[in-house]
Amino acid sequence: EGLCQVFSGGFETYKREFFPMIWSIVEDKQQNIWFASYNFGLMKFDGTSITNYSAESLQKYGSFFYFQSQVDKRGVLYFPNNFGIVYYDGKSFGSIKDRVWASTFYDEQLELLFAGRFEQVKVYNLDHKIVRLIDGPKELKMKGAVSAFGKDRNENIWMGVRLQNKVNYLW
- pLDDT of 170 > 60? The answer is no
Give me the torsion for CA of 20, 114, 73, 156, rounded to 10°: 110
Q: What's the pTM?
A: 0.85
Q: Find the range with the poorest average confidence among 56-60, 127-131, 136-140.
A: 136-140
Asked if pLDDT for residue 168 goes beyond 60, the answer is no
Torsion of CA 62, 37, 69, 159, to 10 degrees: -100
- Give dist(CA 42, CA 143) in Å, integer: 30
Nearest in space to 81 (alpha carbons), one of 115, 131, 106, 111: 115
Give the pLDDT confidence score for residue 164 in this predicted structure. 61
Burial class (CB in 10 A: 0-12, 13-18, 19+), 142: exposed
Residues 98, 77: Cα–Cα separation, whole Å = 17
Of 79, 76, 82, 123, the C-alpha closest to 99 is 82
Per-residue pLDDT reduced to its tens digit, 33-43: 999 999 889 99
Q: How many CB atoms lie within 10 A of CB 48?
A: 5
- Give the Cα separation of 95 and 67 in Å (integer): 16
Q: Where are the alpha helices (DSSP H) in 21-112?
A: 55-58
